Amino acid sequence: MSDNYQVKPVDKLFRWVHPGQFHPTEMRPTSAIFRGEYMSVDIAQLTNLEASYERAKKLQKNAVVSFTAELAFDLQQRVTHCPTQLCESTNETVCFVDTGCSAYQINNNACVLICTNDAHGCVIGDKTKAVSKAFAKNCGVEIFPSEAS
């Protein structure tokens, strides 16, 4: 695992889109993909679009959108770099970054950890309907669902 990256306002963040969560007539995702207190993203500075999309496809996601960390900050969200780590024996996600994360563990010496996504980040904060809609309206589409075949 690399050192914790300090996310900057200009950083681009990738968010994966599940089939059915895209408005084809409006050419944007639904606000449903921007819900949840902990929202997973890939930090573009630590990966590239192609690598992020390959990880997305493994989870049956078929599109990628992006927004800047500045948008998240303007919407009163925090953005942290938290590489995805799995416990080899249990295949459970382990987080050492944010104490509020459901996967947070102070120390897990019994686990051999495998980093599966060093570019992973979390957008943390309350996602009201207004916040979710603002993300949906202000994101850019990097890979459209029709491109995924």
Question: Which amino acid, residue 39?
Answer: M
Query: Encoding tokens for residue 18?
Result: 């599940």
The 10s digit of each residue's pLDDT in 60-82 is 899 999 999 999 999 999 999 98
Query: Encoding tokens for residue 88?
Result: 């080899």
**Angle, CA 79 vertex, CA 75 and CA 83 arms, to 5°:** 155
Q: Which of 99, 105, 90 is nearest to 122 (CA)?
A: 99
Query: Encoding tokens for residue 24?
Result: 């084809």
Average pLDDT, the chain: 86
Q: Which residues contact 130 (CB under 8 A, 6 or more apart)?
A: none
The domain locations on the chain are 12-83+119-147
Confidence band for 125, pLDDT divided at 50, 70 and 90:
very high
Residue-level pLDDT at 96: 67
Q: Kindly report the pTM of this predicted structure.
A: 0.84
**Angle, CA 128 vertex, CA 118 and CA 17 arms, to 5°:** 45
